[in-house]
Amino acid sequence: MKVVDTRGLFCPIPLTIVSKELKNIPVGEKIKVIADDKAFKKDISSWAFETGNKLIEFKEENGYYVAIIERGKGFKGEKLIDKIKFISLGVKLHIKKHLLDIFFTKKPKYLITFVSVAEGLRANKWLEEKKLNKKYVMLPVPKEIYPHCGLVFGLKKKEDAVGLFNLLKENKFAVEDIHIVDKEKKYPKLEIN
């Protein structure tokens, strides 16, 4: 089992690292996470639920936290209303993507990913409240980036993508990466300083 040590890092960086590590292992495999950020204790269980991963074990040990997390198949929702909201969001995002493909020649070239759908929605709400939601479009995450459900913010210009990514990161949103939309559908990550 791989050990991911996030000691010395603070929210949202530990969740971002955990999310990236889980995406690199098959469904059903586990990782062990070590953290000392006080926010990690409350954040990890809700994050695991939101992303459809399983928090197998959580304990405090020698002044830090140890969590065992199993890679899940993505969020499915517990209650019927959760499932309906989740499915309707997915339908809405896919319709938006198809409309973009059909009616617009200038499509997003940069995609910002998040540790969970809920985190992307929280960021979108915050940006709407700040009236900063005009430069991006919310879309479904391409299966080449992440095979399960998710959302991304699509932007046309590199400087807008980097600026928005940094703004969200500075305001404690758990953004993961910026991916470049390429013709081969490989979506390489943009190196961010």
Contacts 24+ apart (CB under 8 A), 36-39: 36/6, 36/7, 36/8, 36/63, 36/64, 36/65, 37/6, 37/9, 37/10, 37/11, 39/10, 39/11
143, amino acid identity: K
Which of 11, 13, 27, 66 is labelled catalytic? 11
**149 is annotated as an active-site residue:** no
d(CA 150, CA 114): 8
How many residues are given for the chain?
193
- 8 A C-beta contact, residue 131 and residue 94: no
Q: Is the N-terminal amide bond of 147 cis, ω within 30° of 0?
A: no
Distances (CA, A) of 168 to 61, 120, 165: 32, 10, 5
Active site amino acids: 11
